[in-house]
């Protein structure tokens, strides 16, 4: 079902969510890196200098680069070496992943933990499916991991109320976004769109965040359709956040994917195994933080 997304602007009355203005901004280095790596003229040294302005973040990136996730035989001792070995786009994936985990700081908050795992699984699905849809892999990963930004904000702002909402919808067929609007004045897509604008995310990311639950039609933008499919695949893989658990229905995922012409269809059962394995490697690498 499609829903009208209210174009919230800075300064608009947010009702119960007025505290959103007190949320910390998305990490500055990560936000700047999102734009910098999209610039074909940016070089390794420029990206390295930017990362080194945040000592804690660059240290975490190096620890993850040295984890079993990559399995390098030689130690990755500098950001520049990491960029040379895995490339700027993969480093961006690491930075956004680490930054989102740091931002959420979920610890003992079960809804935030579940939302984090759903976001990570969605990102991995989007990255793997992007090659079959002929879409940019790094942008697909980034859109996947940030698509539920509004839900993260709702959980952080109203943890007890949102936990009650999740419990009430766990066995219900009610539209979760309608219920969010009833309880919190706005749904998580609208809040995510607001934050994407305030934090100056590129328009393509903002559109995905705002519309990732809309019906998929032939006119649906391709990245939006990809993330809708990836979000569905993540939920069906056991990483759902809202509502009852979903059974594995690969034909439903395939129907949501943007048309890629005569290319081979994605081997969804095999990709699910890869997503589970890679998610485990990433989480093990992040445990040290």
Answer yes or no: are the C-beta atoms of 211 and 84 closer than 8 Å. no
Provide the 8-state DSSP code for 18.
G
Q: Measuring CA to CA, which residue among 113, 89, 123 is closest to residue 227? A: 123
* Predicted confidence (pLDDT) at residue 155 exceeds the cutoff of 80: yes
In this structure, what token pair is assigned to residue 240? 């759902």
Q: What is the pLDDT of residues 202-211, one digit of tens each?
A: 888 999 999 9
Domains of the chain and CATH, by start: 23-104 (no CATH), 107-289 (1.10.3210.10)
Query: In this structure, what is the dihedral angle of CA atoms 122, 245, 278, 144, given to the nearest 10 degrees?
Result: 0
Provide the 8-state DSSP code for 287.
T
Q: Measuring CA to CA, which residue among 171, 176, 160 is closest to residue 212? A: 176
Residues 138 and 144: their CA atoms lie apart, in Å, by: 10
| pLDDT for res 245 | 86
**Highest mean pLDDT of the ranges 22-26, 101-105, 115-119, 175-179:** 115-119
| pLDDT for res 36 | 67
| pLDDT for res 14 | 57
Residues 72 and 233: their CA atoms lie apart, in Å, by: 30
Provide the 8-state DSSP code for 22.
G
Residues 242 and 171: their CA atoms lie apart, in Å, by: 9
| pLDDT for res 11 | 47
Q: What is the pLDDT of residues 209-241, one digit of tens each?
A: 999 999 999 999 999 999 999 999 999 999 999
| pLDDT for res 150 | 95
């Amino acid at each position: 079902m499609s829903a009208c997304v209210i174009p919230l602007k800075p300064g608009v009355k947010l009702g119960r969510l007025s505290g959103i203005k007190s949320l910390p901004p998305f990490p500055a280095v990560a936000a700047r890196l999102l734009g910098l790596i999209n610039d074909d003229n940016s070089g390794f040294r420029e990206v390295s200098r930017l990362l080194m302005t945040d000592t804690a973040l660059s240290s975490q990136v190096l620890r993850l680069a040295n984890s079993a996730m990559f399995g390098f035989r030689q130690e990755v001792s500098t950001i520049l070496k990491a960029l040379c070995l895995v490339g700027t786009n993969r480093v961006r994936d690491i930075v956004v992943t680490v930054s989102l985990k740091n931002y959420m700081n979920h610890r003992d908050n079960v809804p935030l933990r579940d939302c984090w795992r759903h976001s990570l699984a969605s990102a991995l699905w989007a990255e793997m499916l992007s090659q079959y849809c002929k879409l940019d892999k790094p942008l697909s990963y980034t859109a996947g991991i940030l698509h539920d930004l509004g839900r993260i904000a709702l959980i952080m702002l109203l943890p007890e109320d949102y936990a009650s909402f999740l419990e009430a919808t766990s066995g219900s067929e009610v539209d979760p976004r309608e219920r969010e609007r009833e309880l919190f004045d706005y749904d998580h897509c609208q809040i995510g769109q607001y934050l994407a604008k305030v934090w100056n995310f590129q328009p393509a990311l903002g559109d995905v965040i705002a519309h990732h639950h809309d019906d998929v039609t032939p006119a649906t933008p391709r990245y939006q359709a990809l993330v809708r499919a990836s979000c569905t695949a993540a939920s069906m893989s056991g990483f759902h956040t809202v509502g009852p658990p979903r059974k594995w229905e690969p034909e439903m995922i395939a129907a949501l994917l943007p048309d890629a012409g005569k290319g081979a269809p994605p081997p969804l059962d095999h990709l699910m195994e890869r997503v589970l394995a890679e998610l485990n490697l990433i989480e093990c690498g992040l445990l040290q933080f």
